[in-house]
Amino acid sequence: MEISIKDADGIVGMRTAGRLAGELLDYLAPLVKPGLTTNELDRLAEDYTTQVLGAISAPLNYAPGGHKPYPKSICTSINHQVCHGIPNDKPLKRGDIINVDVTVVKDGWHGDSSRMYMVGDVSVAARRLCTLTHDAMWKGIMQVHAGACLGDIGHAIQTFAEGHGLSVVREYCGHGIGRNFHEDPQVLHYGKRGTLEQLQAGMTITIEPMLNAGRKDIKELGDGWTIVTKDHSLSAQWEHTVLVTATGYEVLTLSPQGPATPAFVTPSA
């Protein structure tokens, strides 16, 4: 698959899809409480996506090569689950951290975002992991501009994460996005500056680091989707869809009730 460059109409479509993904995560935020099951959260997300946003949930029945169809509309990854957790009937409990990953399709364009939610009072270590992972994502986003290299993004994330004693999951990465859920290029969350593909204005990519409090090693559960840390340490992930511009970046999945942008982030030119 070739890297797709969005024209003016494509950028408008991606802005709309990104805005709706952020709106969905805002809607879900106050619902994430002790006692709620992730199946209930999935049902609420599907109803809001189809009935309010007038859109489609991309994960539902998504079946990339080698995988059976994903059975739900969102991914819900709790505590030591790294990504692709499948909603179920187990209630959330106080102290859990949960990543909710959504991808909304509107008029054929995909908006992809994920967010960490803290269920009631959580441990200092869990809160720190969530905050630092959010910061790491933004360290990567700040590298984005036409002419930069994908390795610049990975290097910024890896340097920040490992400098705070966290490990970067290697097996999963960000990606191009547009008319297709997953497009080229792959966006690694580790690497060296000045390496890999150069970014071009009009590219849309996701930046979605998965950071572990323990070691980077992971494994897949028997359901064929859920990824967990091998050492059972906590894991966190944040994700935005980002448009590359001539002079910087535009984050397409920001939302009014989303987390505050870190203080170190300077506005894109």
Q: How far apart are CA 253 and CA 20, in angstroms?
A: 8
Domains and CATH numbers, the chain: 8-251 (3.90.230.10)
Using 50, 70 and 90 to split pLDDT, how confident is the model at 2? confident
Q: How far apart are CA 185 and CA 112, in angstroms?
A: 15
Q: How far apart are CA 87 and CA 160, in angstroms?
A: 31
Element (H, E) at 139: helix 124-141
Dihedral (CA of 87, 93, 98, 103) sign:
positive
Inform me whether the pLDDT recorded for 1 exceeds 70. Answer: no
* pLDDT, tens digit (0-9, with 9 covering 90-100), for 160-191: 999 999 999 999 999 999 999 999 999 999 99
Tokens 């390496």 locate to 195
Q: What is the DSSP letter of 30?
A: G
Using 50, 70 and 90 to split pLDDT, how confident is the model at 269? low
**The pLDDT value given to residue 36:** 97
**The pLDDT value given to residue 236:** 98
Find the distance separating the first CA and the last CA of the chain, reported in whole Å. Answer: 30
**The pLDDT value given to residue 67:** 85
Q: What is the DSSP letter of 211?
A: E
Q: How far apart are CA 60 and CA 91, in angstroms?
A: 21
CA-closest candidate to residue 97, choices 71, 70, 133:
133
* pLDDT, tens digit (0-9, with 9 covering 90-100), for 93-151: 999 999 999 999 999 999 999 999 999 999 999 999 999 999 999 999 999 999 999 99
Phi, psi values for residue 116, rounded to 5°? -90, 135
Sort strands 210-212 and 174-176 into parallel, antiparallel or unpaired.
unpaired
Cβ atoms of residues 183 and 5 within 8 Å: no
Cβ atoms of residues 18 and 10 within 8 Å: no
Q: Residue range 207-219: average pLDDT?
A: 98
- For 66-201, strand residue ranges (E) read 75-78, 81-83, 97-106, 109-118, 167-168, 174-176, 183-187
